[in-house]
A and B are shown apart, each in its own frame.
Chain A
């Protein structure tokens, strides 16, 4: 069974800080890992997708890394802004389970001005 854990559960930082959100998974036989953002009362917005053969992906101020062998991924957010405030979720695709995603509980991020 795949278990996905995200640490910390909540994070509150002043604007401008660089932050790291952590995601760990118990079964390293994954196909890919996806980071999402969820705003209150809204759906999930896909941020980055890392294939199992990749080490990292970048999009603007976001950088996600993947260490499959140790079962870890990090999402790095540079120069955080109040608009980054949201819940960040990571989800893994085991490949063997036909595209089904296993989600962590998320990190609730608050960036204050």
Chain B
């Protein structure tokens, strides 16, 4: 596609429930990045992929967060046993290369944990 597509747009989960977010990168883009936007405009990097391989996972809270990018499927970000502090907007971005090229962002998924 011509844009990064994220689903769902909104997600509400009770504390302790699982949340799964999806991202379809722009066709032809090999790199996918996940960011978490908390508070007001504070962006936190979570993880990046080169095709289906994890590229950089230094931002991931590993105990409850996991992510995948499988061939011919949207990428996914899963949060097990959600906590109130996981409430945020999760953005996915894609780019053609790992550096030096423009990153294109999706519309985000707003996760609310109640």
To the question of whether A and B form a pair in one complex, the answer is yes
Residue B74 is within 8 A (CB to CB) of chain A in the complex:
no
Q: Is B107 in contact with A42, judged by CB distance below 8 angstroms?
A: yes
Q: A42-B107, A43-B91, A43-B108 in contact; A98/B99 too (CB < 8 A)? A: yes
Question: Could you tell me the dominant secondary structure of chain A's interface residues?
Answer: strand
Nearest Cβ on chain B to A41's Cβ, whole angstroms: 8
Number of residues from A at the complex interface, CB < 8 A: 28
Chain B residues with Cβ below 8 Å from A103 are 41-43
Is B43 touching A99 in the complex (CB atoms < 8 A)?
no
CB-CB contacts below 8 Å: B83-114 with A = 91, 93, 95, 97-108, 110
Given A36-B105, A51-B100, A97-B56, answer yes or no on A89-B33 (Cβ-Cβ < 8 Å).
Answer: no
Contact B99 A105 (CB under 8 A): no
Query: Residue A99 contacts which of B33, B59, B105 (CB distance < 8 angstroms)?
Result: B33
CB-CB nearest in chain A for B3 = A43
Q: Tell whether B48 is near chain A: CB-to-CB under 8 Å.
A: yes
Of A34, A44, A100, A105, the residue contacting B91 (CB under 8 A) is A44
CB pair B104 A99 closer than 8 Å: no
Closest to B47 in A: A100
A101 within 8 A of B: yes
- Report B-chain residues with C-beta under 8 Å of the C-beta of A111: none
Given contacts A44-B105, A49-B101, A95-B99, 12 further A-B contacts (CB under 8 A): A31-B99, A43-B106, A45-B105, A51-B100, A87-B41, A97-B56, A99-B31, A99-B95, A99-B99, A99-B103, A104-B41, A105-B40
| Interfacial residues, chain B to chain A (CB-CB below 8 A) | 4, 6, 31, 33, 35, 40-43, 45, 48, 55-56, 59, 91, 93, 95, 97-108, 110
